[in-house]
């Protein structure tokens, strides 16, 4: 289960960045469509992003780029909005992308892009399987994906996209298996993972977003909160409305300045409330987090008010109630503690 969680975190971090941005592909039009599409994703314009990736798929059906990114837009939007994922449509795109990728690799095994296509396809298939609770298949796809990223480095040591994926994997694998450090075969690669990620952050042209979000959560895990804040604030200057960076920034501030963390979390709530027909999934989670922060700094009245607000939500979908069942229990527990 620890290894399962390690692989889950690896590809969750890939997802929380919303896209593993490729190095410059040798086709200007493809690069332009990727540039624009991913910029739309970073600014949470998912419909516009899908239009660009649909165009990419139609113009270049022999390449898996379009199918991979269409799948990831759907995953990303569902994750960002707290909605139920459309597994069937996503799986179809990823299965077809993997088939294309493997055919390309078989026909030209020396082309680094063909290894990269397989790595991406398998990586996102792994995460989709995690979301669907298919852990055994997720482990297999996840490890296979990591191996293909390693193959990219064998072909070209300056292929920094692989440094991001491998750095993330090395850190979380070591961190979640550290209880085995007394065994002779255990190799703690957490520092090596950080080195890979810092190198990618410094060297990549397009993958900086991925390296950045990965490093932020790595430094939070390492309790190096000031470095996490530094990276998050720098990235937010480029994409000030990006909820992924804001959430990570707020989490980093929790252990440095809870009042700033509360303010950033409130900005996130405002952002989610602007989404048409939102299901309140993240709004409820954020209000609970803020209530916990208020309780931590002794502002019990504000904490209790938020608990009351959470428990008064009506007309939630069955999906949201099921996903938040444990959180509602914790909110009730906090409410009772605040009253007592």
- Residue 145: band (very low, low, confident or very high) from pLDDT cuts 50, 70, 90: confident
Decide: 123 and 142 in contact? Cβ < 8 Å: yes
Q: Give pLDDT, residue 316.
A: 96
Q: Give pLDDT, residue 92.
A: 97
Containing 120, the helix (H) or strand (E) segment is: helix 112-131
Give how far Cα 328 sits from Cα of 57, 290, 333, Å: 42, 14, 9
- Residue 106: band (very low, low, confident or very high) from pLDDT cuts 50, 70, 90: very high
Q: How many angstroms separate the first and last alpha carbons of the chain?
A: 37
Q: Give pLDDT, residue 186.
A: 46
Give how far Cα 67 sits from Cα of 23, 81, 134, 241, 335, Å: 18, 21, 22, 26, 46
- Residue 201: band (very low, low, confident or very high) from pLDDT cuts 50, 70, 90: confident
Which tokens is 308 given? 């009351």
User: How far is 135 from 141, CA to CA, in rounded Å?
Assistant: 10
Q: Give pLDDT, residue 152.
A: 92
Q: What percent of the chain has pLDDT over 70?
A: 88
Q: Give pLDDT, residue 280.
A: 97
Q: Give pLDDT, residue 161.
A: 75
Q: Give pLDDT, residue 21.
A: 43
Where does residue 157 rank: exposed (0-12), middle (13-18), buried (19+ CB within 10 A)? exposed
Decide: 30 and 68 in contact? Cβ < 8 Å: no
Q: Give pLDDT, residue 179.
A: 43
Q: Give pLDDT, residue 184.
A: 47
Closest CA relative to residue 23, chosen from 230, 130, 164, 141: 164
Q: Provide the mean pLDDT of the chain.
A: 87
User: How far is 297 from 240, CA to CA, in rounded Å?
Assistant: 28
The arithmetic mean of pLDDT across residues 268-290, rounded, is 97
Query: What residue has token string 């990728």?
Result: 101
Range list of H helices, 182-257: 190-203, 208-221, 225-238, 243-253
The arithmetic mean of pLDDT across residues 123-135, rounded, is 80
Q: Which of 50-54, 84-88, 131-135, 218-222 has the lowest mean pLDDT?
A: 131-135
- Residue 314: band (very low, low, confident or very high) from pLDDT cuts 50, 70, 90: very high
Which tokens is 110 given? 């020396």
Is the per-residue pLDDT at 177 higher than 60?
A: no
- Residue 110: band (very low, low, confident or very high) from pLDDT cuts 50, 70, 90: very high
> What's this model's pTM, rounded to 2 decimal places?
0.85
Decide: 164 and 200 in contact? Cβ < 8 Å: yes
Q: Which of 164-173, 224-233, 258-267 has the lowest mean pLDDT?
A: 164-173
Q: Give pLDDT, residue 139.
A: 72
Q: Give pLDDT, residue 2.
A: 36
- Residue 167: band (very low, low, confident or very high) from pLDDT cuts 50, 70, 90: confident
């Amino acid at each position: 289960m620890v290894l399962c969680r390690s692989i889950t975190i690896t590809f969750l971090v890939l997802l929380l960045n919303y896209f593993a941005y490729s190095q410059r592909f040798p086709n200007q039009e493809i690069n332009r469509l990727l540039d624009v599409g991913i910029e739309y994703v970073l600014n949470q314009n998912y419909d516009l992003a899908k239009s660009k990736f649909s165009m990419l798929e139609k113009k270049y059906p022999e390449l898996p780029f379009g199918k991979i990114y269409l799948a990831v837009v759907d995953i990303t939007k569902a994750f960002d909005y707290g909605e139920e994922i459309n597994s069937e449509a996503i799986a179809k795109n990823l299965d077809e992308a993997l088939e294309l990728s493997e055919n390309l690799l078989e026909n030209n095994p020396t082309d680094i892009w063909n290894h990269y296509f397989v790595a991406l396809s398998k990586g996102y298939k792994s995460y989709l399987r995690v979301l669907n609770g298919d852990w055994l298949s997720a482990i297999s796809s996840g490890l296979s994906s990591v191996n293909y990223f390693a193959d990219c480095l064998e072909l070209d040591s300056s292929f920094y996209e692989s440094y991001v994926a491998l750095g993330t994997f090395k850190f979380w694998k070591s961190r979640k298996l550290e209880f085995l450090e007394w065994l002779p075969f255990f190799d703690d690669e957490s520092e090596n993972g950080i080195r890979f990620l810092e190198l990618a952050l410094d060297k990549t042209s397009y993958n900086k977003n991925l390296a950045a979000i990965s490093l932020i959560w790595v430094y939070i895990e390492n309790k190096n909160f000031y470095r996490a804040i530094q990276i998050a604030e720098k990235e937010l200057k480029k994409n000030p409305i990006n909820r992924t960076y804001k959430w990570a920034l707020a989490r980093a501030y929790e252990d440095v300045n809870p009042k700033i963390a509360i303010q950033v979390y409130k900005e996130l709530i405002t952002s989610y409330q602007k989404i048409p027909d939102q299901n309140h999934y993240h709004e409820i989670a954020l209000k609970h987090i803020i209530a916990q922060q208020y309780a931590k700094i002794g502002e019990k009245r504000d904490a209790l008010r938020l608990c009351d607000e959470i428990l008064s939500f009506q007309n939630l979908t069955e999906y949201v109630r099921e996903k938040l069942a444990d959180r509602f229990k914790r909110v009730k527990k906090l409410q009772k503690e605040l009253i007592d």
